Amino acid sequence: MQDIVSLCDTPSYFYNNLSRVLNLYVFIFVSSATTKLSQK
């Protein structure tokens, strides 16, 4: 429980992970879209 509280106390850590996940999602979306376009 202490880890969760400390994580909530550091919003910068949360935003860093969030941006990392969003970048990964965008990368996967773009790569899949390019694959679909190249298959046509």
- Ordered per-residue pLDDT tens for the chain, 40 residues: 566 666 566 778 778 888 899 999 999 999 999 999 888 7
Helix axis angle for 2-9 and 11-39, nearest 10°, is 80
pLDDT at site 3: 66
The pLDDT of residue 2 = 62
**Domain total of the chain:** 1
At 39 the pLDDT is 84
- φ, ψ for residue 10, nearest 5 deg: -120, 85
- Specify the 3-state DSSP secondary structure of 22: helix
**Under 8 Å CB-to-CB from 14, ≥6 apart: which residues?**
7, 8
Note the pLDDT of residue 15.
83
Residues spanned by the domain of 25: 2-39
At a CB cut-off of 8 Å and minimum separation 6, what does 4 contact?
Answer: none
pLDDT value, residue 28: 96
Residue 4: the pLDDT is: 60
